Amino acid sequence: MGIERVLLQQGWSLVPRKGWIAVKDDRDTFHAMFRTDRVGKLVGSKFYVTVRDIRAVAERQILEVGLQLEQVSSSSDKDVVYPGFACEGVSETTLQAFVERLHDTIDRQVEK
28 band by pLDDT with thresholds 50, 70 and 90: very high
For residue 43, pLDDT beyond 70 = yes
Handedness of CA 44, 46, 51, 52 (dihedral sign): negative
- pLDDT computed for residue 76 by the predictor: 79
Percent of the chain predicted with pLDDT > 70: 98
- pLDDT computed for residue 80 by the predictor: 86
- pLDDT computed for residue 103 by the predictor: 95
pTM listed for this prediction: 0.94
Per the structure, how many domains does the chain have? 1
- Output the domain CATH number for residue 9: 3.90.1150
CB count within 10 Å of CB 111 equals: 8
d(CA 73, CA 68): 17
Structural domain containing residue 31: 2-110
79 band by pLDDT with thresholds 50, 70 and 90: confident
